[in-house]
Amino acid sequence: MSAVFEEEVGIRPMQELDVRAVHAIETEVHAYPWTLGIFQDCLRVGYCCWVDEVATSVTSYGIMSIAAGESHVLNIGVASAMQRRGLGSRMLSHMLELAARHQAGTTFLEVRPSNVAALALYRQFGFIEVGLRRGYYPGNKGREDAVILALQLKC
């Protein structure tokens, strides 16, 4: 076990004070990051916003909406230095448990087909492809499609 995880704080609700740290991770790991304002809006409207903290540093985050018996994973990010340590899996697992507790029967998300690591993670959890959104994401050479994935939850 890594010495870093001995000082683990764990997953907790995101607070306004976390938004800058979350945005810093977002800009580090995504070519087309969300703005600071988008994260602030997610908190303001009451989306499920979570951070994972080691020692005093935010290492990952997850944002999800839950409504009308469905949940939608909107964003997950893990700091580059902390990737490949199971933090993305832990955050996704936490969000799926929360969705099930809120009686969401299905969880949806979109992912870039080029994001092989994310696709592998989602498939490990049992997500299946249910559609495609053409030109959904900005890209270096025009737009990139989004694969729509879904997972039936046991409520």
pLDDT of 23 above 60: yes
Tens digits of residue pLDDT in 25-45: 999 999 899 999 999 999 999
**Which residue in 70, 110, 129, 136 is the catalytic one?**
110
138 burial type by CB count under 10 A (0-12 exposed, 13-18 middle, 19+ buried):
exposed
Confidence class of residue 46 from pLDDT cuts 50, 70 and 90?
very high
Is 28 annotated in the active site?
A: no
Element at 77 (helix H, strand E): strand 70-78
Q: In this structure, are residues 105 and 154 in contact, taking their beta carbons and an 8 Å threshold? A: no
**Which residue in 26, 122, 137, 144 is the catalytic one?**
122
Tens digits of residue pLDDT in 73-105: 999 999 999 999 999 999 999 999 999 999 999
* CATH number corresponding to 3-152: 3.40.630.30
Is 137 annotated in the active site?
A: no
pTM over 0.95? The answer is no
